[in-house]
Chain A
Amino acid sequence: MATYIVRRLLWMIVLLLVISFLTFLIFQKLPSADPVSLRAGRNATPELRASIKHTFGLDKPFFEQYRIYLAKLVPFDFHKGFKPPDFGYSYQNNVSVKSQILDRLPATAGLSLGGVVVWLLIGIPVGIISAIRRGKLSDRLAMGGALVAISAPVYWLGLVMLYLFSNDIGRIKIFEGAGSYPNTGSLFSDPFSVAPSLFLPWIVLATAFAAIYARFLRGNLLEVMAEDYIRTARAKGLRERTVIFRHGVRSAITPIVTILGLDLGILLGGAILTETVFNIPGIGRLAFDSIQKSDLPTVQGTVIMGAFFIIALNLIVDVLYAFLDPRVRY
């Protein structure tokens, strides 16, 4: 197991390097991105543009630029030992990219983790009950509803929810509206004042995921209940409830752990649509804004952060799997 983890960590480093290179390449070569104009503004003289270009090091050859970037990014320096990673500075406002990301991380984390809790609380019971009552009306309604929930685009659903329920413009004013997320404080530092502004976003985010997980769990559970060991459990004279939960659900839920890790990793990289609709200052919003403004360092920073979360969570989930399924040996 230890060698497995070490191997996966080494691969993580390799992957992050590749991703950093690819994003660097893509955004350098994109014709529409022109950071010089961003800083220089309109009516810039050629001398000003050249001077800005030089300041940013944009007149250096491509690989030289990348090397400089990488040297700052990697948290290790041959002379000084370990050092904090430097993601560069935003072209737009010269703020350190790293500080921007870290500032916005709690918002994204609050949204994502809360969303996960909500969708698990809804999705898992619905999935289990649908499987148990397979074919009955409750099952058909649940799966039909799930299909609608999955099909509804997040931004549409978000806007509809705001229209109906937000306390500023909604018809039934019960939830906090968009723009209610406080500028200071996060779910972790100030749960009671921040949480209400996250209720609607959580519901919107959770809807599609809950539906997916319910359908997935239902399918898994139906398959598992046809396995031989369920027959043995019944033959032993166990209560049906024990058979379903301790034997059936226990088996059916392990693949859910895997996809949960993946989904959480993606969300931590920024739930762009939800954050935009509800005006939550998270990493997703940051990425969206900086792409629009061709703010290359920030974009790169968010991409690498996102990649890091996905890879890290994947690793955590794979290791967790070995504890859930004793047959898995790394």
Chain B
Amino acid sequence: MSTPLIEVRDLVKHFPIRKGIVIQHQVGAVQAVDGVSFDINEGETLGLVGESGCGKSTTARLITRLLEPTSGEIIYNGVDIANANRRSLLPLRREMQMIFQDPYSSLNPRKTVGSIIGEPFEIHGIERDKEKRRRLVQELMEQVGLNPEHYNRLPHEFSGGQRQRIGVARAIALKPKLIVADEPVSALDVSIQAQILNLLRDLQRELGLTIVFIAHDLSVVRHMCDRIAVMYLGKIVELADADQLYDHPRHPYSGALLSAVPVPDPRLAREKQRQVLTGDVPSPTNPPNACRFHTRCPKFVAGHCDVEEPLLEAKQGGNVAACHYPLTDEEIASRVPTAAA
């Protein structure tokens, strides 16, 4: 039984929209994250999946306290860090690190690779001796597959995949417990993506990391994660083990997402009847009532789905989903071609 490393309870982040002549008052809010609760278990890889505007990146930044939540709790090691100040957060930053999406803009172009990777040591006052620090940094470079002799090179001298490795080296420098990876491979070429994904997997085994993995690519998420949370318009609509989610998605949105992924198999492509959602994702400033997905849901029942908000509850198969009319096995079989029979 693994213990939760982090417990997130009712996390909310609203970005206010202000209007006014002299004094600006709040007229509305972008409800980026609107009441999200989940555990992150030690040693697991948890996936956060969803389309643009679902709140997954905001959630990632809330967990690592790059943003301060509007309300809710983030309990790390028994302590609620949701409103902790910078000073008390500093020691925690050794234990929680982030890897970002764009390897071209997330590295300071004026700093050498060595100083980028060595900066965590500097900030936390570890290893002041320059020589020893350099050796530590070079070990890290080797660990992520970079040539340690390139210690003094600048970011622009590296390719996208290598730059992402630099970001990974920086993140693991202080041997953190938790890594939050926000779309770490989306900006990379396909043949490089596999290299970075394998690297992350290997490092997780070596260092006993817990990883929160955010992505929009469902195939990548399935490959990397043990458990996955599907988000829509600021809420979690389904949370399940990877196998369960991909074989038996219960929430209609999860089903639609899986159905939409183009699969590199022409036979499957011909056979399947894809579930195509109509319309666009509603605006997070004005989300639909009750169940947020009801405006696009193929199983929408008027008078119920638009009146009473479904709670995240256990459904058939062990998935936890927020839906009054979850997908049945027959529906899954006909609409999600990749699901196990």
Within the complex, are A and B direct neighbours (CB within 8 Å)?
A: yes
Q: Give the B-binding residues of A (Cβ under 8 A).
A: 3, 6-7, 10
Judged by DSSP, the binding face of B is loop
A7 to B22, CA, bound (A): 6
Task: Chain B residues near A10: list those with CB within 8 A.
Answer: 21-22
A6 to B21, CA, bound (A): 7
Task: Chain B residues near A6: list those with CB within 8 A.
Answer: 21
Quote the shortest CB–CB distance from A10 to chain B (angstroms): 6
Task: Chain A residues near B20: list those with CB within 8 A.
Answer: 3
- A selection of 8 A-B contacts at a CB cut-off of 8 Å is A3-B19, A3-B20, A3-B21, A6-B21, A7-B21, A7-B22, A10-B21, A10-B22
* B4-24 at interface with A (beta carbon < 8 Å): 19-22
Quote the shortest CB–CB distance from A15 to chain B (angstroms): 14
Quote the shortest CB–CB distance from A1 to chain B (angstroms): 12
Quote the shortest CB–CB distance from B11 to chain A (angstroms): 30
A7 to B24, CA, bound (A): 10
Interface residues on B, range: under 10
Judged by DSSP, the binding face of A is helix
* B21-41 at interface with A (beta carbon < 8 Å): 21-22
A135 to B235, CA, bound (A): 55
A298 to B21, CA, bound (A): 34
A3 to B22, CA, bound (A): 9
A325 to B22, CA, bound (A): 25
A7 to B19, CA, bound (A): 11
Task: Chain B residues near A7: list those with CB within 8 A.
Answer: 21-22
Known: A6-B21, A7-B22. 6 other contacts (CB 8 A): A3-B19, A3-B20, A3-B21, A7-B21, A10-B21, A10-B22
Quote the shortest CB–CB distance from A328 to chain B (angstroms): 16
Task: Chain B residues near A3: list those with CB within 8 A.
Answer: 19-21
A79 to B19, CA, bound (A): 34
Closest B residue by C-beta to A11: B22
Closest B residue by C-beta to A14: B22
In the A-B complex, the 6 residue pairs with the smallest Cβ-Cβ separation, listed nearest first, are A7-B21, A3-B21, A6-B21, A10-B22, A7-B22, A3-B19
Task: Chain A residues near B21: list those with CB within 8 A.
Answer: 3, 6-7, 10
Most buried by A among B19, B20, B21, B22: B21
A225 to B106, CA, bound (A): 27
Task: Chain A residues near B22: list those with CB within 8 A.
Answer: 7, 10
Quote the shortest CB–CB distance from A11 to chain B (angstroms): 9
Closest B residue by C-beta to A4: B21
